[in-house]
Amino acid sequence: MFFWSLVLIAVGIFSSFIYGRSRIKLNSKKQGTKSKSLPNYYAQYVLMWCLFPALIVYFSWAIFQEQIIQNIVISNFEYIEGAVYNEGLLLAEIRNVANNPSFADGKSIEIINAASHYSSLRQISQISFYTSIIIIMLLGALYASQKLKPDFHAQHTIEKYIQYILIFCSSVAIFTTIGIVFSLIFESLRFFAEVSIFEFLFSTEWYPFIPIREGQTAAEGSFGAVPIFAGTFLVMVVAMCVAAPLGLLTAIYLAEYASQRVRKIVKPLLEILAGIPTIVYGFFAFVSVAPFVKAFGQSIGIDASPTSALAAGMVMGVMIIPFISSLSDDVINSVPQSLREASLGIGANKAETIKKVILPAALPGIVGAFLLAISRAIGETMIVVVAAGTAPNLTGNPFENVTTVTVQIVVALIGDQEFDNPRTLSAFALGLVLFVITLFLNIIALQIVKRYRERYE
């Protein structure tokens, strides 16, 4: 359906363009004056008046059609007294029957009725969709064609419209942020209505299993996120222990020692390392590193679990190496050459210059890079989901199973997704914490890097 409507819109805008062009030529000939802008601008003017209303109709249909139909079908559904219905399952069943008549065998009569209701509504919706698109395009063209007079400044108007479009494009980023903030806060508020914020932030018991069915006697869930934060922190520390020295030393070597040829080979290789999808690192951690860590732990007498903070952290560190090395490389390169030359000029050798002059000078930038890397490590999901485990242990032992904020978000949202229980909603509260922390780290890091840049410019 939506494909053909796109074709329809394409035909509409094409003919409106042709129409606008010929119409303005005709009009200006009739009046014997030259039009104020080139004919193409008038054509574009008609086109825009055709296209944008049509697009608005198109998207509102695409977004709201299904929901409205479903609401009508559900509200007209003939419920049988006493039977309990799950709305989602019911809808799925009705849709299945409607899309696939062969599924109707053995279904109850009210479902078959609802399915035929559903398909008839869909048909009505389709017909009205096409007619409203055609009508709105005609109306747009009609409105625009009234303006096609030679003394109308089409170009100015078009340029104004283009400005609006561009402003809309750049505000998408703002809308995204607003969307993120509002959805996180909204769902988190629903979570905190059931679980106190102090319990969430300061209690050490994470046991998010709540009775699913009524009357089920399961333990009350408890949502103390401290073990999760601790696990995240532990994995992050392990990752930084791997990535910080390796990344920084690589950057120093590449920036100060390596020949042009080595740089040319190594930098793209590091970029490959940066471009590998995180799930691939997760696989690597799961298949190679975790068994190795387990064997290593056993050989030194520590009982390591098959998934551990150490395995996940080490692989995550590898993932961050290129991130740190390329950022630090930039930072080191932007230390003014005069500092280097001055140091070498008074007799310091290269290592001394780097350690005593360049690194102190570049320190703010490097700190900024590390902060960005930490924010990456905290927000990283797939490696920890595969290799760190899901047990909320409050421990400092990297050989043990730990869990992180991102893992718990994934675990809470896989499978059953009813939005009325705190288990699902806890994902949004954790997401909010994650968002705030990474945003905070990021703003600080960008501030530091910016100040650092300004110092040497």
Partner 1 sequence: MNNSIAKEKIVSLRKKRSLEDMRFKYYGFTAMCLSLAVLVFLLYTIFSKGYTAFQKTIVLLEVDYNQEVLKLTPDSSDEDMEKGKFFRVKKQAIENFFPDLSKSDIKLVKKLFSINVDKEIKDYFLDNPEVINTKQQIWVTAHSDVDQLLKGNSRRDVPEDRRKLNDIQLSYVDQLVEENRVKQVFNNFFFTKADSRHPEIAGVAGSFMGSLFTLFTVFILSFPIAIGASVYLEEFAPKNRITELIEVNISNLAAVPSIVFGLLGLGVLLNVFGLPRSTPLVGGSVLALMTLPTIIIACRASLKAVPPSIKEGALAVGATKTQAVFHHVVPLALPGTLTGTIIGLAQALGETAPLIMIGMIAFIPNIPTGLTEPSAALPVQIYLWVESAERGFQEKSAAAIMVILIFLFMMNAIAVFLRNRFERKW
In the complex, the smallest distance separating the C-beta of residue 159 from partner 1, rounded to whole angstroms, is 4
Q: 109-122: b or e for each residue (b if 16 or more CB lie within 10 Å)?
A: eebbebbebbbebb
In the complex, the smallest distance separating the C-beta of residue 263 from partner 1, rounded to whole angstroms, is 10
Indicate the Cα dihedral angle 102, 103, 107, 112, nearest 10°. -70
State the amino acid at position 399 in one-letter form: F
Q: Nearer to partner 1 by C-beta: 124 or 446? A: 446
Tokens of residue 47, six digits: 């086109």
3-class secondary structure, 279: helix
Q: Nearer to partner 1 by C-beta: 71 or 108? A: 71
Q: What phi and psi values does residue 201 have, to the nearest 5 degrees? A: -85, -30
In the complex, the smallest distance separating the C-beta of residue 87 from partner 1, rounded to whole angstroms, is 13
In the complex, the smallest distance separating the C-beta of residue 238 from partner 1, rounded to whole angstroms, is 15
Helix axes 422-455, 154-194, angle to 10 degrees: 130
Note whether 363 and 447 are within 8 A (CB). Answer: no
Q: Nearer to partner 1 by C-beta: 335 or 382? A: 382
Q: Nearer to partner 1 by C-beta: 36 or 112? A: 36
Q: Which residues pair with 222 in a beta bridge?
A: 207
Q: Nearer to partner 1 by C-beta: 218 or 276? A: 276
Q: Nearer to partner 1 by C-beta: 26 or 276? A: 276
The CA-CA-CA angle for residues 5, 11, 12, to 5°, reads 85
Q: Nearer to partner 1 by C-beta: 85 or 168? A: 168
Q: H/E element holding 172?
A: helix 154-194
Q: Nearer to partner 1 by C-beta: 121 or 321? A: 321
Q: Is 415 left (phi over 0), alpha (psi -120 to 50) or beta?
A: left
In the complex, the smallest distance separating the C-beta of residue 316 from partner 1, rounded to whole angstroms, is 12
Q: Nearer to partner 1 by C-beta: 145 or 376? A: 376
What is the secondary structure of 318-369 as a DSSP string? HHHHHHHHHHHHHHHHTS-HHHHHHHHHTT--HHHIIIIIIHHHHHHHHHHH
In the complex, the smallest distance separating the C-beta of residue 349 from partner 1, rounded to whole angstroms, is 5
Q: Which residues pair with 206 in a beta bridge?
A: 223
In the complex, the smallest distance separating the C-beta of residue 435 from partner 1, rounded to whole angstroms, is 5
Q: Nearer to partner 1 by C-beta: 18 or 269? A: 269
State the amino acid at position 31 in one-letter form: Q
In the complex, the smallest distance separating the C-beta of residue 404 from partner 1, rounded to whole angstroms, is 11
Tokens of residue 140, six digits: 């747009």
DSSP 8-state code for residue 80: P
In the complex, the smallest distance separating the C-beta of residue 356 from partner 1, rounded to whole angstroms, is 12
- Helix, strand, coil shares of the chain, percent, nearest 5, are 75, 0, 20
Q: Determine the Cα–Cα distance for residues 2 and 136; give it in Å rounded to an integer.
A: 17
In the complex, the smallest distance separating the C-beta of residue 158 from partner 1, rounded to whole angstroms, is 8
Q: 135-154: b or e for each residue (b if 16 or more CB lie within 10 Å)?
A: ebbeebbeebbeebebebeb
